[in-house]
Chains A and B, each alone.
Chain A
């Protein structure tokens, strides 16, 4: 790890929540804000943020990159770096941040589009970091451990790193292994919980093709839920709203379609960290918004 710790950074960041979290991931947003606050990170909300550009990465390169760059400009105008929660947003914004920092020709080209679309130019300096990376790298498991007042001892968590958080490695300075990611495990350990490894752990949620081929996407989801069921876990832990839609919102549909019973609670990482820090599951961590209710898990901790 070469990244500077939080104490050596300025504590103010633009929070990029994107489209999905804003309406369908309020439990993620509220828990991430609470946990960030507890570690002294101040989030600034920028009204000018819009779509991150990710959906257009399947349509047109320049459009996707320009939409992403326009968002980076919003942060640049306020002198802020960006913290993201959604992995798809992380992928799109990091790609723009990296490509436009390294490649002047590409930056000039995108800036022409921005100029002609009425946006200020992008200077190529804004950094984008996923909130999990903030917890893992800037804050670190050791500091998280010190804040734990309600250790999650005896609980088994199946981490799902997803895709655009650490892959492709060249965009993310290889801060976590692209083939065998482990950062979620380190944070789960810090909370006192037990991370479990399962078959095909690195495989994706299939969320990207849900609108293309729903049947195939649900098969992709089902195979992972099965792998986790085989190993046994109290909850799955993830950090992307797409993944949560697939594993949490779709779980009942999948149980019916494949004649399976999973009843596997799916928690966002900040919900797990917040729980260990003694936060209120409903009020602070929005757990009543999780589709599969983590009742049994909370009962094990003696929390209502």
Chain B
């Protein structure tokens, strides 16, 4: 990824080292800890089918609006780690949750690897393993409670009425039933109780 190149270039031209430039953490790969079946596991998920096709060209990173600003998100690196079998590092790391889902890489990948859907496929495995990101834990809670991501208060309905918009009545039941049927609700529970802040930021995004 670009950051690595930048660090090297700076080293050469200025010889001042890399104090200011964020360097990617280099991971020591312990072969005994690799899970050779991880790529198959991802390939079995919806959208993960083509993961083994990746030949590491980096088109996904070049097109990524997030990778440009946050070195922790590097789709090429994540896909490589999956193909190498670094299951635990991938599932527990922050990277997989930083995909903004814009599908720019998806449309440009020369191997049709579908990186956007691969991130979702990995997120689904991570969520089953107890690594659901706290933002989505908040979202699960709201869906069970309200059937919607944002509360429609009396105040909101009054504002709607003033503009001639129809009133909205919350009905959590139908959505809640699906969430309970799929046994997702437990993934919405934090080890420590949810703080208001989590709920607020989850709402802020949606």
Contact = CB atoms under 8 A, between A and B. Distances in A.
A209 B99 CA distance: 7
A50 B205 contact: no
B206 A117 contact: no
B139 interface: yes
B171 to A, nearest CB: 7
A214 B97 CA distance: 12
Interface stretch (B52-60, B77-85, B175-183): B175-183
Interface stretch (A22-30, A138-146, A183-191, A271-279): A22-30
A61 interface: yes
Given A60-B124, A61-B46, A30 B164 contact: yes
Given A167-B103, A206-B100, 16 more contacts: A23-B151, A29-B165, A48-B174, A59-B139, A63-B184, A167-B104, A203-B104, A204-B101, A210-B204, A212-B98, A212-B135, A212-B205, A216-B69, A219-B69, A220-B65, A286-B163
Interface in A46-62: 47-48, 50-51, 55-62
Nearest to B102: A204
Nearest to B203: A211
Interface residues of B, number: 67
B169 A47 contact: yes
Interface residues of A, number: 61
Contacts of B116: 168
A208 interface: yes
A26 B165 contact: yes
Interface of B: 45-46, 65-66, 68-70, 73, 97-104, 106-108, 116, 120-121, 123-124, 127-128, 132-133, 135-136, 138-140, 143, 147-153, 156, 159-160, 163-166, 168-169, 171-172, 174-175, 177-182, 184, 187, 201-202, 204-206
A179 B174 CA distance: 37
A117 B174 contact: yes
Nearest to B70: A216
A298 interface: no
A66 to B, nearest CB: 5
A152 interface: no
A280 interface: no
Given A59-B123, A59-B187, A203-B102, A20 B181 contact: no
A301 interface: no
Contact of A204 (B65, B128, B178): B65
A213 interface: yes
B178 A113 contact: yes
